[in-house]
Amino acid sequence: MSITIYDVARKAGVGIATVSRAFNDSSLIREETKKRILEIADELNYQPHGLARGLARKQTHTIATVVPFFFNYFFLNLLKNVQYSLSKKNYDMFLYSVDNLEHKENMFDKVLYERKCDGVMLFSLTLDEEYAEKFIKSNVPVIIVDNYHSSLDSITISNKRGAKDAVNHLISLGHKKIAMINGNLSSFPAKVRLEGFKEALMENNIIKNPRYIINADLDLGEDGFNEMAGYRAMKQLASLGKNRPTAIFISSDIQAIGALRAAKEEGISVPDDCAIVGFDDIDFAKYVGLSTMRQPVHTMAELAVNRLLRRIDNKTRDKFQVELSAELIIRESCGARNVTTHLGDISSNDAIFL
């Protein structure tokens, strides 16, 4: 039916081993023979069969990425970059998304034992001990991106430090009544960013007000890093009236977008009545003038890919747990850039407010 290595070998008058060598950059073949075989293969439109190759070599040149089912713009960016790094190395990429824990189980079993991939990249997923154990025992290389487990490779951004930097920036602008709008505490980044927030206040001798900390409820869906969660949280803060905070650190840009919407409805001017700093630097952040902590997505992706491939090639066995830092991007919403801008004013810059 379809063309195999035998067809090529026959037509070239060589053995199949030689054809195989021609296709694998082997040094055990004369340059001339190789060239001729490659030409004939081209004529025949021959391409080695991926599965057969994988089976014989015991590796697939494929990695699996697993993202939460509610993946958003942050993941999109990450995925784009991972895919790019991977394609440069000629690796293929499976994309799986897990919606609930039950599926997660199937997923892992699949990835681990079905042998369709050489390694796994987990995005933002929290691994419980049972599965961490499984990964380690299975010997399948894994790397966790945007989350952490003590006995596996991981690459995170410094959420605590990032949160602190954001809050310190607000403090440096003179704010004392500072709130935090956060994702659900079941999420790893949410938890750590909250710590950073608290630390920054503490170190600056600002007493924290429990009403100024709003963690998204689970009933808001997903991990609380969504627009509606931000909107609701802002409404809640607005209801404090005179006791409203004058600045808010918001744990994700997408929530910040929701918060801005609520602020607008409530007649709260940003940044004058309330300064805002977000987290992530999604594309939209610049369109709405949102100051935010930028995650170095490109670097994360590249590092993760390189590391995983090295692990697959067995070039290394030591632990790899990197923390990159987030960068403060100052736009309008924090009030540092253009203190006279009002909500509804025409912004002088490359960005505007909601």
Partner DNA sequence: ACGGAGGTTGGAAGCGCTTCCACTGTTATC
Partner DNA sequence: GATAACAGTGGAAGCGCTTCCAACCTCCGT
Residue 69: contacted member of a second copy, DNA, none (CB under 5 to 8 Å, by partner type): a second copy
Q: CA-to-CA distance for 256 and 249, rounded, in angstroms?
A: 9
Closest approach of a second copy to the CB of residue 344, in Å:
3
Nearest to 275 by CA among 238, 245, 240: 245
Closer residue to DNA, CB minimum distance, 19 or 229:
19
Taking CB under 8 A as the criterion, the residue among 26, 35, 51, 239 binding a second copy is 51
Taking CB under 8 A as the criterion, the residue among 34, 38, 73, 221 binding a second copy is 73
Residue 97: contacted member of a second copy, DNA, none (CB under 5 to 8 Å, by partner type): a second copy
The token pair that represents 301 in the structure block: 């992706």
Mention every residue, 6+ apart, whose C-beta is less than 8 A from residue 95.
Answer: 64, 65, 67, 79
Torsion, CA 281, CA 283, CA 287, CA 291, rounded to 10: 0
Whole-number Cα distances in Å, 313 to 64, 153, 189: 16, 15, 31
Closer residue to DNA, CB minimum distance, 29 or 79:
29
Q: CA-to-CA distance for 254 and 267, rounded, in angstroms?
A: 20
> With CB under 8 A, what is the number of residues at the site for a second copy?
55
Residue 83 and residue 139 in contact, taking contact as beta carbons nearer than 8 Å: no
Q: Does 98 bind DNA (CB under 7 A)?
A: no
Closer residue to a second copy, CB minimum distance, 284 or 320:
284
Q: Does 241 bind a second copy (CB under 8 A)?
A: no
Q: Does 315 bind DNA (CB under 7 A)?
A: no
Mutual angle of helices 227-238 and 253-266, in 10-degree steps: 40
Q: Does 13 bind DNA (CB under 7 A)?
A: yes
Q: Does 116 bind DNA (CB under 7 A)?
A: no
Q: CA-to-CA distance for 276 and 177, rounded, in angstroms?
A: 12
Taking CB under 8 A as the criterion, the residue among 102, 114, 129, 219 binding a second copy is 114
- Largest interatomic CA distance in the chain: 89
Residue 5: contacted member of a second copy, DNA, none (CB under 5 to 8 Å, by partner type): DNA
Q: Does 62 bind DNA (CB under 7 A)?
A: no
Q: CA-to-CA distance for 107 and 111, rounded, in angstroms?
A: 6
Taking CB under 8 A as the criterion, the residue among 30, 89, 103, 319 binding a second copy is 103
Q: Does 89 bind a second copy (CB under 8 A)?
A: no
Q: Does 175 bind DNA (CB under 7 A)?
A: no
Mention every residue, 6+ apart, whose C-beta is less than 8 A from residue 12.
Answer: 18, 19, 36, 37, 40
Strand segments (E) across the chain: 62-68, 92-98, 119-123, 142-145, 154-157, 178-182, 213-215, 247-250, 275-280, 291-294, 321-324, 327-329
Q: Does 202 bind DNA (CB under 7 A)?
A: no
Taking CB under 7 A as the criterion, the residue among 39, 42, 43, 57 binding DNA is 57
Name the pairing type of β-strands 275-280 and 291-294: parallel
Q: Determine the straight-line distance between the first and last CA of the chain, rounded to whole angstroms.
A: 61
Closest approach of DNA to the CB of residue 136, in Å:
20
- The residue ranges that bind DNA (CB under 7 A) are 1-2, 4-6, 13-21, 23-24, 27-30, 33, 46-49, 52-53, 55-58
- The residue ranges that bind a second copy (CB under 8 A) are 2, 45-52, 54-55, 60, 62, 69, 71, 73, 76, 79-80, 83-84, 87, 92-97, 99, 103, 109-110, 113-116, 227, 257-258, 261, 264-267, 283-284, 287-288, 343-344, 346-347, 351-352, 354
